Amino acid sequence: MDIKEMLNLVKSGEMGVDEAQKILKDLPYEDLGYAKLDHHRALRSGFGETVFCQGKPDEYLVEIYRKFFERDGEVFGTRAVKEQFELVKAAVPEVTYDPISRILKVERKNKERTGCIAVCTGGTADIPVAEEAAQTAEYFGSCVDRIYDVGVAGIHRLLSNRERIGRASCIVAVAGMEGALGTVIAGMADCPVIAVPTSVGYGASFHGLSALLTMLNSCANGISVVNIDNGYGAGYIATQINRLAVR
Amino acid sequence: MDIKEMLNLVKSGEMGVDEAQKILKDLPYEDLGYAKLDHHRALRSGFGETVFCQGKPDEYLVEIYRKFFERDGEVFGTRAVKEQFELVKAAVPEVTYDPISRILKVERKNKERTGCIAVCTGGTADIPVAEEAAQTAEYFGSCVDRIYDVGVAGIHRLLSNRERIGRASCIVAVAGMEGALGTVIAGMADCPVIAVPTSVGYGASFHGLSALLTMLNSCANGISVVNIDNGYGAGYIATQINRLAVR
Amino acid sequence: MDIKEMLNLVKSGEMGVDEAQKILKDLPYEDLGYAKLDHHRALRSGFGETVFCQGKPDEYLVEIYRKFFERDGEVFGTRAVKEQFELVKAAVPEVTYDPISRILKVERKNKERTGCIAVCTGGTADIPVAEEAAQTAEYFGSCVDRIYDVGVAGIHRLLSNRERIGRASCIVAVAGMEGALGTVIAGMADCPVIAVPTSVGYGASFHGLSALLTMLNSCANGISVVNIDNGYGAGYIATQINRLAVR
Amino acid sequence: MDIKEMLNLVKSGEMGVDEAQKILKDLPYEDLGYAKLDHHRALRSGFGETVFCQGKPDEYLVEIYRKFFERDGEVFGTRAVKEQFELVKAAVPEVTYDPISRILKVERKNKERTGCIAVCTGGTADIPVAEEAAQTAEYFGSCVDRIYDVGVAGIHRLLSNRERIGRASCIVAVAGMEGALGTVIAGMADCPVIAVPTSVGYGASFHGLSALLTMLNSCANGISVVNIDNGYGAGYIATQINRLAVR
Amino acid sequence: MDIKEMLNLVKSGEMGVDEAQKILKDLPYEDLGYAKLDHHRALRSGFGETVFCQGKPDEYLVEIYRKFFERDGEVFGTRAVKEQFELVKAAVPEVTYDPISRILKVERKNKERTGCIAVCTGGTADIPVAEEAAQTAEYFGSCVDRIYDVGVAGIHRLLSNRERIGRASCIVAVAGMEGALGTVIAGMADCPVIAVPTSVGYGASFHGLSALLTMLNSCANGISVVNIDNGYGAGYIATQINRLAVR
Amino acid sequence: MDIKEMLNLVKSGEMGVDEAQKILKDLPYEDLGYAKLDHHRALRSGFGETVFCQGKPDEYLVEIYRKFFERDGEVFGTRAVKEQFELVKAAVPEVTYDPISRILKVERKNKERTGCIAVCTGGTADIPVAEEAAQTAEYFGSCVDRIYDVGVAGIHRLLSNRERIGRASCIVAVAGMEGALGTVIAGMADCPVIAVPTSVGYGASFHGLSALLTMLNSCANGISVVNIDNGYGAGYIATQINRLAVR
Amino acid sequence: MDIKEMLNLVKSGEMGVDEAQKILKDLPYEDLGYAKLDHHRALRSGFGETVFCQGKPDEYLVEIYRKFFERDGEVFGTRAVKEQFELVKAAVPEVTYDPISRILKVERKNKERTGCIAVCTGGTADIPVAEEAAQTAEYFGSCVDRIYDVGVAGIHRLLSNRERIGRASCIVAVAGMEGALGTVIAGMADCPVIAVPTSVGYGASFHGLSALLTMLNSCANGISVVNIDNGYGAGYIATQINRLAVR
Amino acid sequence: MDIKEMLNLVKSGEMGVDEAQKILKDLPYEDLGYAKLDHHRALRSGFGETVFCQGKPDEYLVEIYRKFFERDGEVFGTRAVKEQFELVKAAVPEVTYDPISRILKVERKNKERTGCIAVCTGGTADIPVAEEAAQTAEYFGSCVDRIYDVGVAGIHRLLSNRERIGRASCIVAVAGMEGALGTVIAGMADCPVIAVPTSVGYGASFHGLSALLTMLNSCANGISVVNIDNGYGAGYIATQINRLAVR
């Protein structure tokens, strides 16, 4: 119901002034006191709200999973640890946990997936972040093609996957250390590249700062960047783009 | 001509081994010695190569503009200063210069534009970067809606433009200082937001670092980031996304 | 007793020169050798001295709590861990501990509270810092209105609390990640906003640096900043301001 | 007119639905295209909007000054350079410029000033920032007591001004280099201290970073911080606090 | 087989087009799905591929060691922990582990070593990184002369080793804290110096950043730098240079 | 007059209470309004107050030089530019200026100098900072031995000056780029070394940060550090130490 | 024996050429292979070599303690942990350990102490670093006056210790957080101040960086700085200065 | 003359003790007072001393060029500006200046060049640094192959130069912005790669820091790094390696 509709109802007397005032103020979130769950989100953006598990107090976490599952029949959270999995499982037995991506979720069966997102990594150590991206994209309905361990230090590994890269409507490039993967891929592809720096490395990698700066300063066109280790964010944006492409 | 085709020609004797070898090695760029112009790029990616004018030696710059203009009938460069405009104009009289965006270009007439990209700024000082983004997007064929001076310190200015924001297939959010514009827009929209931190500010803004970090750490979904003041990059990606949306 | 009074006593012979000299040198703190307790502080500033528990050697901590409690009947400390609670409890059984805010205190009964301080957070993970601020303000006699999980990525959550924000004489805005909460609140309110960056986040949040820079570079008026995670400092200043407002 | 009032008018037919819808959407700012002037601000917050002159394109700046002056009879801008003064003066001859504080303004005659804000500096080089703070506070109606060159390296200079410091309802402490002024003042006073780091210094002062960190890490209570060289922000907040104190 | 050879085979019909196409695409790495082992590397560069053990998931690590050992009869990995040693040992009993250098390897017997690389350290705490360099160089066939604990604070220790330094064809200088060792050695020697900053130190050493900057800013000629604690990289380059020298 | 004396006068009636109160408050500095000149300083510390010229407004600078010169017959300022020299000269014709050290001073004739301070530099570009240190030390009465261009990249240059270094009671080590000079000197000498990092260098020297970190992390004993380019500070401390040594 | 003496012996035939050559090369350190013990140091500088225990491999540590104790009858090490104490005690039963300063030593009885070094701290948390400084100074023969918990936020605590500060020939100022202690002390004293930043603090203290920058940028004269938490270095330099003063 | 020889002369009485003592102390540099010219360097290292012109005072610079030219018949300096060229030319008319590389030199005719160093750049803006490297290498006797504008964003440009890269005995990889060139080249080549980050870029390139970190964190083997823009250093090391290869 939009404002105009409502105002017509007020005018016609079908809706009281107080009621209208309340609606204008009251937005469709559920207030748990410590948290405000945004059930309206799926309507607004086409994506349900998700849970960032890291550092959530136990009682809050369990309650939030239960609330979401009750209302939506599914729930998706990132950066969970095994202890959180066990806690939530006690309340929501349907929940599953992937220790690589650290995703804790209940997913409805038989969801359809469309389009094509390529998720690439520089090395094997970048796979956990890549899986967070890939599984996020899949949860929100995208097909994902995983192309792992194709870092630029052995350029032939990347070149031999040229065709698969060419098929994607959006590419997620996950790399730590010197983080040059995104640039080379963006030079080969003509679709948007979402670059994810990872904290993989040591010394002057400064926990991902080096890869982050590399990606921001890319001399290639068509590359934008998300926070260090933010696989979720990359998977989300890639899905937004993928949806536009398959519309 | 793809590899298979060529190999068939070799087999049939229609193409000599030496010629095939040369083609396999020779990629379609023009070598000026100091620079390698990538004329093939428009074919490959749908975007012609562009010129980053800043710091280019004068003779190189003029030569590059002439070469591109000769072959393509148009040419697009960023970060030009007035002196460069005058130099290039002597060789390529068709060239025009916009002192706000610092874009130096020849653009073919009657190019069609499609889709909708919203370009928003936090303040008036962010307009030069926003114009670089907007005019880049327009050059590559996108329609652009400019929504300027809608920073989050006066949230009503942004809220009253909700509808225009809702119409875009991609939003470019340009902001310096604390750089929170992208987050609030991403919370309102359901399409991808490309955030561009600007070097506008003083003191602890550290020439755009503050806005950059804000945007990378956004708690909103659907936001990715380009380099500080990189309006061109944002306009390019926004066009890639816009093309996917209007396909 | 002020200097003039004392000098008059010296003149009249009611006070000896040596005694006056001693008073002029001797300031009203209690010297434990390793620490100098400032019992005069409450007189001087209207705030009793408090204890920063983090890293205090055990024997010092217990002694300091006992001394303060003996003299003042109450004592307030921040950043305590559970082990410290148990140690102090053995010496001062009246002490209580809140694991969320990590405040360890004895508070006199029936203290009156006045005015209104709003304490807001961007997310649920910011609540521990917010509680440190809120409980500090309450200990020093302020009424507190808690408005949690109203981050700017879902601006409607904040807008629907506009009225409560409008009632405060000072607002404490607690946020990590991109830390834009303070700016939006300062744009809505007309009282001072004390912004507290938190170390909540990951990657390029650099343990709160991102939120700190955001807040320092706020394009809104009426916002000042304290150290990362410094809920205590914010609660203290908010109380100073609140007292001025209710005087 | 608040929402309820308006809805009652709609109900009674005194206001049309379209008109109400427009009002709900339309916020009271004036749209110059490139800038949105917030005339409503004075009503909302008790402070008129001000102009950050640095980097504003000339034509915009002149237009903004004229618009404000026309409507409000006064206008206040910071960080102006002499060239801007001359440009604006041609359009608004009443404008005056102070080269120390770099404030460019027209101020109505006979404005009343109340309360007391002390503005202190560590050295003489901090005076420009201090004057920006002091004149901002005076413009918005506060009395200001200037206590300059009282840095902590000669603590007697500060101690001998103890009484004046004690009279203020808010203190602005402006210091560069090691920036310890705020801490010592906050230890002496019982009112809020707004600390302003300045970019005065060289070498490892890193353009004010050193003073900024010092102030954020102050071991004194009652001190909050604004951006490097942000005299305006400090004068604004000090006025907010001063108004609460004299209410 | 190079391209020309193959094309001649295609021409002559000895090789089918499809087969040639496959070879042109197919590069000689083995794809384990999560990792792409580069067996061709030894041919290409004269160095077999090595394993960076840190953070490798257990199952991947064991598999990779087995694969390499099967094919090459030896395998070399760095940054292994004791637990990884035990895991790999179960699958590859020939493997040995050095807790100082943290190298986990199987090395073929009776490999010949040539030339001379000097590996120097500033202090005893730098020895683990130095050993990683030294054992890497030895594994790849270089003779190594270890000159440890010759930091510049006691310059006589270094000067008395002048002759040994003079004999090397390449010097690896390993130092933490202020990291000046490389400069002094480069001033004494006429062969290339590879400087390795270490994370040894505390406080403002910032985990090796101080030593890294020192080495990058060396006022001596003939010094280049690798990442903090990157003994492996230094040993590798030193071997490349040593091979050139003994050719 | 000390406190006891004064109190005895009060007791005996020779001094009035108000007068005593005033003296207790009034400290011996001269208040120019914008600056507080500390004439008492020479008595207190044995060093007259000096002037940091950089950024001082012209009228203040001239006034301060005249005041100091009038009272003390000499005056010493650092970081002056040639324009300041000319301005001050008009008011104080006795003033002299050294463009290398940028010192602007009037010095009394025939001052005696004692002891020995060695001032060393790594390169010729460090000489301006070294001269600021040397001339400061000389102004305050120290003999100075200049040992320039003895950087550690050619260690023999330093070693051949061993004897001169051994004669000093304090050594000032001035170096930019990698800044290792202080460490090697401290390893050779048994007196305190004051290290001065300079902003000489480029790239990763980050305007002196590299040299600063090197010096702070020195593995030698007996070395302390002052701010980047702070020759004055080093000359001052060296004089304090030299005075203790010759007492 | 100096060079001239030796050359005379060679001339007279009392010393053979080979022997002289060997002496000229052979410097008086003992080579343990992994470490080079500098027994000559006490002769050269008046300070015996000391042991930095942190991170030393166990076998090395025990061996080094035994060697030093055997030769010198005493030995002094810093940054030891309790486990190291127990290991060393098994080999050198005379060794004692102080868990506050973490000093592990055997000290000869009845050493004389002279002069006066004041060691001051801002808070109680700075005491471990201060004790490292104080006990180092005492080990090398200085009298130490400890003045703890006199931070500048309560300036009266420092002012009431003015007289003790005035008696020292050198002052060590130990402070974390905002680190302003050194400046205020240097303003009160006329002897050199060695400032030691500590890693005490949180948030924007960045592990001591804030205090370090404060101290480097001090606007007071006569203050130099050592590395974060480097109590040993400060105690060493203070002793060098103290010795010069009592000579 | 080595030590033994000299000692034999002393023994035989052919050389006096004082003379021998003097020789032992006196090293073969020429002392200009402000600078110590190291004429012995060419003997020791095979490279003559060079001049870093940036920031050298004019009189020093001219004198140094004359001295070197007189003795050696050639002289080589870097980072000269045009004004310096003119100054030096007045004294040494043979001098030539290249405005691209900013090299100011006199070079002897008919010098022979050997071996092969490849100097590659990512873009055209990196050419000045590359030329500094190339001309340094040529001055010291190396053949140089220039491969410019082959950045990784268009990987085909690099791949088509594979053969030339394969011929070099050392490769210098010069790149700014994201700086990934070195990694890709090192993955293709089997000789050492010297990576030179340049300050080319803007925003988050932080004047070359981004490229520097990329290169330090390279996941390729065989790559070491010099300071930002340090073409000279790279050319020097490359020559050292090239000489070893052609020996």
pLDDT tens, residue by residue, F141-164: 999 999 999 988 888 888 889 889
- Give the end of a domain, one of C106, C136, C156: C106
How many other CB atoms are found less than 10 A from the CB of residue A58?
A: 11
Same domain as A238, residue A154: yes
Q: Are strands A75-78 and A51-52 parallel, antiparallel or unpaired?
A: parallel
Domain that holds residue A59: 27-106
B228 and H204 in contact by Cβ < 8 A? Answer: yes
For residue D155, being part of any structural domain is answered with: yes
Nearby residues of H25 by Cβ (< 8 Å), 6 or more positions away:
F160
What integer pLDDT is reported at residue D235 of this predicted model? 97
What is the structure's pLDDT at D40? 55
Select, from the ranges B6-10, F34-38, F218-222, H13-17, the one with the highest average predicted confidence (pLDDT). F218-222
pLDDT of residue E34: 65
Contact yes or no for B25 and H160 at CB 8 A: yes
Question: Which residues of chain E fall below pLDDT 70?
Answer: 1-6, 21-46
3-state secondary structure at position C112: coil
Cα distances (angstroms) measured from residue C224 to each of C194, C215, C236, D196, D236: 5, 8, 14, 10, 10
Residues 6+ apart with CB under 8 A from D110: none
Distance (Å, whole) CA H120 – CA F126: 34
Does residue H52 share a domain with residue H36?
Answer: yes
pLDDT band of A153, cuts 50, 70, 90: confident
Query: In this predicted structure, what is the pLDDT of residue B52?
Result: 92
**Chain D hits for A13, Cβ within 8 Å:** 11
pLDDT over 90 (residue A8): no
The backbone region for B15, taken as left when phi is positive above 0, alpha when psi lies in -120 to 50, beta otherwise, is: beta
The predicted-structure confidence for B65-118, as pLDDT tens digits, reads as follows 999 899 888 999 999 999 999 999 999 999 999 999 999 999 998 889 999 999
Mean pLDDT of H6-31: 66
Whose CA is closest to H240, among H227, H229, H226? H226
Per-residue pLDDT at F1 = 44
Does residue D94 sit within a domain?
yes
In a shared domain, residues C87 and C140: no
State how far the Cα of A40 lies from the Cα of A59, in Å rounded to an integer.
23
Rounded mean pLDDT, B219-247: 95
| Alpha-carbon dihedral A21, A27, A28, A31, rounded to 10 degrees | -110
Residues of chain E in contact with residue B13, where contact means CB-CB under 8 angstroms, are 11
Q: Are residues A84 and A152 in the same domain?
A: no
Dist CA F117 CA F196 (whole Å): 14
Tell me the mean pLDDT in the region F172-176. 97
B187 or F22, higher pLDDT: B187
Residues H197 and H232 in one domain: yes
Residue D5 inside a domain? The answer is: no
pLDDT band at A6; cut points 50, 70, 90: low
- Ranking D159-163, E220-224, H98-102 by mean pLDDT, the lowest is D159-163
- Are E242 and E129 in the same domain? yes
Q: What confidence score (pLDDT) does residue E17 get? A: 74
Q: How far apart are CA F160 and CA H150, in angstroms?
A: 49
* Residues G119 and G241 placed together within one structural domain of the fold: yes
Q: Does residue A221 register a pLDDT over 90?
A: yes
Least confident of A92-106, D31-45, F116-130: D31-45
The predicted structure's pLDDT at residue A27: 40
**Is E161 in a helix, a strand, or coil?**
coil
The reported pLDDT for the residue numbered B130 is: 97
Q: d(Cα H234, Cα H30) in Å, to the nearest integer?
A: 27
Verify G-E touch: 3 or more CB pairs within 8 A.
yes
Identify whether residues A120 and A38 lie together within a single domain.
Answer: no
Question: Does residue H100 lie in a domain region?
Answer: yes
Q: Cβ neighbours of residue B149 under 8 Å, at least 6 residues apart?
A: B121, B122, B123, B124, B157, D34, D35, D36
Query: By the 8 A CB rule, do H197 and H214 touch?
Result: yes
For the record, the structure tokens of E170 come out as 């390449």
Nearest to B170 by CA among B243, B238, B120, B245: B238
Give H192's contacts in chain E (Cβ within 8 Å).
Answer: 237, 240-241
Phi, psi dihedrals of residue H117, rounded to the nearest 5°: -115, 125
- Which among D224, G243, D137 is positioned nearest to C212, based on CA atoms? D224
Q: In what order do the strands lie in the sheet with E51-52?
A: E51-52, E75-78, E103-106, E96-98
Over the range G90-113, which residues count as b (16 or more CB within 10 Å of their CB) and which as e? eebeebebeeebbbbbbbeeeeee
Q: Chain F residue with minimal CA distance to C12?
A: F11
pLDDT in tens, G30-49: 666 666 666 555 555 667 78
In terms of domains, do H86 and H143 share one? no
For residue D167, which of D145, D150, D142, D151 has the smallest C-alpha distance?
D145
| E strands, G20-95, in order | 30-31, 36-37, 51-52, 75-78
> How is G110-161 classified by DSSP, letter by letter?
T---EEEEEEEESSGGGHHHHHHHHHHHHHTTEEEEEE-S--GGGHHHHHTT
Residue B233 lies in a domain: yes
Tell me whether residues C17 and F24 touch, CB distance under 8 A: no
Distance from C-alpha of B6 to C-alpha of B8, rounded to nearest angstrom: 5
Q: Write down the pLDDT at residue G26.
A: 40
Whether residue C190 and residue D225 make contact (CB cut-off 8 A), yes or no, is no
Q: Which of G191, G216, G236 sits opposite F222 (nearest CB)?
A: G236
Q: Residue A197 and residue A109: Cα distance in Å, rounded?
A: 32
When pLDDT is cut at 50, 70 and 90, the band that residue H25 belongs to is very low
Q: What is the 3-state secondary structure (H, E, C) of chain D?
A: CCHHHHHHHHHCCCCCHHHHHHHHHCCCCEECCCCEECCCHHHHHCCCCCEECCCCCHHHHHHHHHHHHHHHCCEEEECCCHHHHHHHHHHCCCCEEECCCCEEEECCCCCCCEEEEEEEECCHHHHHHHHHHHHHHHHCCEEEEEECCCCHHHHHHHHCCHHHHHHCCEEEEEECCCCCHHHHHHHHCCCCEEEEECCCCCHHHHHHHHHHHHHHCCCCCCEEECCCCCHHHHHHHHHHHHHHHHC
Question: Rounded CA gap, C135 and C53, in Å?
Answer: 16
Best mean pLDDT range from B10-14, D107-111, H13-17: D107-111
Contact assessment for residue C57 and residue C65, using Cβ atoms and an 8 Å cutoff: no
Cβ–Cβ under 8 Å, residues F203 and H227: yes
Q: What is the per-residue pLDDT for B219? A: 87
Q: What's D132's domain CATH number?
A: 3.40.50.1970
d(CA G117, CA G139): 13
Q: Does C192 reside within a domain?
A: yes
Residues of chain G with pLDDT under 70: 1-6, 20-46
Planar angle of CA G26, G32, G34, nearest 5 degrees: 110
b/e sequence E37-46, b meaning 16+ C-beta within 10 Å: bbeebeebbe
Give the residue from F106, F139, F167 where a domain finishes.
F106
Cβ within 8 Å, pair G24-H3 = yes
Does the pLDDT of residue A3 top 70, yes or no?
A: no
Among C116-125, D177-186, E98-107, G14-23, the minimum mean pLDDT is found in G14-23
Q: What's the whole-number mean pLDDT along residues H103-122? A: 94
Count of the separate structural domains present in chain D = 2
CA distances from A121 to A127, A152, E225, H152, H155 (A): 7, 10, 27, 17, 18
Task: Give chain E's contact residues with A (Cβ, < 8 Å).
Answer: 25-27, 29, 33-36, 38, 41, 54-57, 60, 197, 199, 207-209, 212, 227-230
Q: Do H240 and E191 touch (CB under 8 A)?
A: yes
According to DSSP, the β-strands at C30-31 and B193-197 are unpaired
Residue H187 has pLDDT above 50, yes or no: yes
Task: Enumerate the H helices of chain H as residue ranges.
Answer: 3-12, 17-25, 41-45, 58-72, 82-91, 127-139, 155-159, 162-167, 181-188, 209-216, 231-246
Distances (CA, A) of C108 to A228, C242, H119: 47, 21, 77
In angstroms, the CA D199 to CA D210 distance is 9
Shared domain for E154 and E232, answered yes or no, is yes
User: CB-CB: which of B190, B192, B240 is closest to A191?
Assistant: B240
* pLDDT one-digit tens code per residue, B158-213: 888 888 998 999 999 999 998 999 999 998 888 999 999 999 999 999 999 999 99
CA distances from D35 to B151, B172, E201, G30, G56 (A): 11, 18, 53, 76, 64
Tokens 């996950």 sit at which residue?
A174
Q: Range with the lowest mean pLDDT among C21-30, C214-223, E234-243, H13-22?
A: C21-30
What is the DSSP code string of F103-172?
Answer: EEEE--TT---EEEEEEEESSGGGHHHHHHHHHHHHHTTEEEEEE-S--GGGHHHHHTTHHHHHH-SEEE
For residues C118 and C116, what is the distance between their CA atoms, to the nearest angstrom? 7
Give the SS3 label for residue C143.
strand
The interface pTM score, or ipTM, of the predicted complex is 0.85
User: Which of G11, G12, G21 to substitute to test the interface with H, most H CBs within 10 Å?
Assistant: G11
Last residue of a domain, one of D55, D79, D106: D106
Most G CBs within 10 Å, among D155, D160, D161, D178, to test the G interface:
D178
Chains near B (3 or more Cβ pairs under 8 Å): A, C, D, E, H
Helix (H, G, I), strand (E, B) or coil at A135: helix
Residue H15 token pair: 């050389």
Do D140 and D204 share a structural domain? yes
Is the separation of the CB atoms in A188 and A222 below 8 Å?
A: no
Section C193-215 average pLDDT:
95
- Predicted confidence band of residue F33 (pLDDT cuts 50, 70, 90): low
Strand residue runs (E) in B20-60 = 30-31, 36-37, 51-52
CB-based contact D40:C187 (threshold 8 Å): no
Same domain, C126 and C150: yes
**How confident is residue C201, by pLDDT bands cut at 50, 70 and 90?**
very high
Q: Which of G98, G100, G101, G149 to mutate to test the interface with C (most CBs of C within 10 A)?
A: G149
Q: What is the pLDDT of residue F6?
A: 67
Q: Is residue A45 assigned to a domain?
A: yes
Higher pLDDT, A247 or H115: H115
D2 in any annotated domain: no
